[in-house]
Amino acid sequence: MHFNNQTLRQVLRVSAGGARARVVVSNVFGTAPLTIGAAHLALRDKGSAIVAGSDRVVTFGGQATMSVPAGATLVSDPVTLTIAPGADVAVDLYLPGNTDQASPLTVHAASRGTNYITGTGNFAGGPTVPVVATMQSWIALARVEVLAPARVETIVAFGDSITDGSRSTDDANARWSDVLARRLTAANAAFSVANSGIGGNRVLSEGAYTAGINALARFDRDALDVTGVRHIIVLEGINDIGNARQNPTPTADDLIAAHKQLIERAHTRGIRIYGGTLTPFEGAGYFTREGEAKRQALNAWIRSSGAYDGVVDFDQATRDPNHPAQFQSQYDSGDHLHPNDAGYKAMGEAIDLALFKAAPPVAQRATR
């Protein structure tokens, strides 16, 4: 996907509200600079329209136009804009160049929501924009950060397509992380939720380009370095298991060792980290009995080892009690790997909010 002198209006839903916000743009996977000709932030009204009077010009170090170096992520200057918890915001990025002639774009392939592409020209900040196409991806947009009170802590949902919300209803914000965010808001709890799921992601290896780099390699950027993070929920490993099929590697012990790495790195930062058990997958295209044995072994370790600071038993919340290798039928999206909206709701409701009230671990200081 490439663009030539076009404006992108991209929609995100925030979890915690506040009175100031900033935009984070990314050229992490680019091999050449990416020019942002203009950037705006506004409250989304309906469709591609924004709320009248909410548009704000976004600058980077005081500059309205910015070149994002290859491999870099840039944080904008904050803008004053009152954003309610659970509100939709629209980020406009005008890309004046022809991205097809430069380098790969940094993309989140599955946004689970509709984003808008204009015709030729800079339409950033317009009440409406001349839409020529829509897309289900986010382009060069890492996140929107809302300045919340100091007591608000961020929970990062770190995982693969089951965290990304694959096969949930588009534009419904029905991921398990969305369910968790709504529960926290309803409870007036001082937490925000950041979703760092990537469809197809694996713990120890790479698949398709859109599946991202392995979890161990992306953990710093996508979890530990997220602004305000104090808690991480990990749900990773089913793609390693499934894509191996009958291959003995990676073993369950290989995956356990990798999870131990995530735990150690989180604790080094003084961050609490929770293990999510892998959900059932019998009937999925890459299901094997060998893979099921690995899933059961990894889940048993997550539940019983005490290595994680707490456990979220997604498997127990969604499995068929009469056939534990399968989803309950009312939770199966139809591919036997991903939940439907009801399944994601059950997952989000399975998270004990008391987990997040415990004190963080004392950070371990590395020695040299």
Out of 144, 171, 204, a domain closes at 144
| Same domain, residue pair 346 and 221 | yes
> Residue 119 sits in which domain range?
4-144
User: Structural domain tally of the chain?
Assistant: 2
pLDDT at position 368 over 70: no
Nearest CA among 367, 356, 222, 244 for reference residue 298: 244
Clarify whether residues 190 and 332 are in a common domain: yes
Res 367 pLDDT > 60: no
CATH assignment at residue 220: 3.40.50.1110
CA dist list (Å): 147 to 53, 270, 309? 20, 22, 27
DSSP H or E segment with residue 75:
strand 73-75
What length does the chain have? 368
Q: Are residues 73 and 134 in the same domain?
A: yes
pLDDT in tens, 296-343: 999 999 999 999 999 999 999 999 999 999 999 999 999 999 999 999
The residue from 125, 144, 163 where one domain ends is 144
165 and 30, same domain (yes or no): no
Whole-angstrom distance, CA of residue 175 vs CA of residue 155? 14
Q: How far apart are CA 157 and CA 261, in angstroms?
A: 17
Residue 150: is its pLDDT beyond 90? no
Token pair belonging to 365? 């200081």
Q: Are residues 135 and 154 in the same domain?
A: no
- Choose among 311, 137, 142: nearest CA to 227: 142
Please indicate, yes or no, if residue 365 is contained in any of the structural domains: no
The closest alpha carbon to 244, from 209, 280, 294, 210, belongs to: 294
Element spanning 157, H or E: strand 153-159
User: Mean pLDDT over all residues of the chain?
Assistant: 96
pLDDT at 221 exceeding the cut of 80: yes
Residues 108 and 173 in one domain: no
**Where would I find the H helices in the chain?**
161-164, 176-186, 215-219, 238-244, 252-268, 289-304, 314-318, 341-349
- Residue 217 tokens read as 């390699």
Q: How many CA atoms lie within 13 A of 83 on its CB side?
A: 31
- pLDDT tens digits for 3-13? 999 999 999 99
Classify the C-alpha dihedral 207-210-213-215 as positive or negative.
negative
